[in-house]
Structure 1
Amino acid sequence: MKHCPAEFKADAVALYRSRPGATIRSVAADPGVNTETLRNWIRAADGRRPGAHSAPPVTAWAGDGDIQAEPAAARKRVRELEEERDILREAARYFATETRW
C-alpha cells in the first residue's frame, strides 16, 4: 500500500483512536496495513515526524475555557453514539425476527 488515499489513512487513525487500550499492531491488522505504516500515520495526524518519539503537542493551556468544553463535547458525542447503537440494535432485532419462519 504505497499510495493510500488520505481518507483511508484518516479512517485507519480514527479506528486506532476509537479503541482505547488497543495496540497499533492489533488495529493495523483490520485495514491490512503494516504496523509501522499505521504508527507513522498516527504520528503525522498528531503533527509529529515519523520516527520521532516525543509527546504530541499541547493544544490548550490549563486556564483556557476550551479545556472544559472538550469533556462536555465528548460526553455529548458518546450519548449520540449510544443512541445510534441502540437504534441499530433494535433494527437488527426487528430484521432478525422478520427473517425467521
Structure 2
Amino acid sequence: MTTRKIYTAEFKRQAIDLAAREDVGPIRAARDLGISTSVLYRWRLQAQEAGQAAFPGQGRSTLTPQEQEIQRLRKENEILRQEREILKKAAAFLPRAGPKAVWSLGRFFAKENL
C-alpha cells in the first residue's frame, strides 16, 4: 500500500506560480517538482475558484462567522429532531400515563440532566 503525499499550501502556490512562468510551463514544472500535470492543473483550478481560501489544509475549510453559525444550528437542529423521535417512541409505551409522564421524560432527557 502506498502512502499519500501531502503538500503544503505554500508548496502548491509556488508550484502554480512556477507553472505560470513562460520559460518553464506546467509540464516541465510538474516533472521538476515530481508531481503529475493533472495535480498541478487541479491546484491551479482550485486557486482560481477559491482564491486565498484555497488549500485550507487537512480538510478544514475556513468558514465565515455566518457559515459557522449555520453549521452549529444545523447540528443543534439534528440533535433536537433525534430527541423528539425518542420522546415520540417513549410516549407510545406510556399511553395511559398521559402527557404529564411524557413531560417528565422530556425533563429526564434534557441537557441539564445529562
Query: Which structure dedicates a bigger proportion of its chain to helix?
Result: 2
Task: Give the TM interval when normalised to the shorter protein.
Answer: 0.3 to 0.5
**TM, length-normalised to structure 1:** 0.40
**TM, length-normalised to structure 2:** 0.36
Structure number, greater radius of gyration: 2
